[in-house]
Structure 1
Amino acid sequence: MTTKAIIGRLESIALPELAISDLQVRVDTGAKTSSLHVDNIAKIKKDGKRMVTFDLHPDVHNVKNIVSCQAPIHDIRRVKSSNGTSEQRYVISTPVKLGDELWNIEITLTDRSDMSYLMLFGREAIGDRFLVDPSKVFINS
């Protein structure tokens, strides 16, 4: 039997292709897909490819720190949020690093400005890699 690593309800991750090294996320097994709070979302074409540009604030305590990013559009999906509203979102696929693990995940881009954490880490990202202990925080930081 393979032993799975345990993660807490809050963790710190890196998104290396987006130049983000320490982003605090809320682990949410109720959310299928991970979602990230971004501003200034714009669709562009670069070298014939559909891309999305956006800004994010990796430190919620310093909103003046802005990282401008761009990524290929992986998909566009209609997503139903926890409050029951539905919206169309851009989806990107990017590597994530949590602890010693590095793998690709899908992330929807949205306005989460009214939420405590800039990113929800959903169950598709968790996959079969981890078990979640909701009584713990920042186990792999």
Structure 2
Amino acid sequence: MQSKDKMIIGRLESIDLPELGIKEMQVRVDTGAKTSSLHVDNIVKYMEKGQPWVKFDIHPDIHNVKRLIACSALISDIRKIKSSNGTSEERYVIETPMTLGSETWPIEITLTDRADMNYLMLFGREAIGKRLLVDPSKVFLANR
């Protein structure tokens, strides 16, 4: 669905993170979160060619925890993030392309433990930017 030059999305959407090997991950759109966050396990920082990288595992299907994707990415930043429960933690930030509907653009994602959450990823305001509008009464509008 389109509104002038902006795509309208719902409170839940399905995205691809092609550089991480993830297709059709359901994400919760959260305009209250500044940065998007992704649930990962086994985070290990390492150096490659003088630059900080991070290795991590993703279980992209919340209903099939045996499926595992081992990923690595260049660390673009380390930020102190305040979670919805008020606690702060330092998180690695990566930048990776994201595909939503027919559009692909780079987004920043913080890596964290979201095991106790219903969705593996929150899609935050910075990723929404000036290109999307959110209709919280709808779901999965981008791929229609």
TM range (shorter): over 0.9
Q: 1:135 Cα deviation (Å)?
A: 0.8
Query: Does 1:12 find its partner at 2:14?
Result: yes
Alignment of 1:38-117 (within 5 A): 38-117=40-119
- SS of 1:136's partner is coil
Distance 2:99 2:5 in 1: 19
1:33 maps to amino acid: T
Name the counterpart of 1:125: 127
1:96-139 Cα deviation digits (max 9, x unpaired): 00001110010000000000000000010000111100111111
Name the counterpart of 1:30: 32
- SS of 1:96's partner is strand
**Shift >6 Å, 4+ stretches:** none
Identity %: 70
Distance 1:100 1:43 in 2: 33
Between the two proteins, the alignment pairs up a number of residues equal to 141
TM-score normalised per structure 2: 0.95
Distance 1:73 1:60 in 2: 25
TM-score normalised per structure 1: 0.97
- SS of 1:22's partner is strand
**Which deviates more from structure 2 when the two are superposed, residues 31-40 or residues 2-11?**
2-11
Distance 2:111 2:5 in 1: 32
> What is the CA RMSD across the aligned residues, in angstroms?
1.1
Q: 1:48 Cα deviation (Å)?
A: 2.0
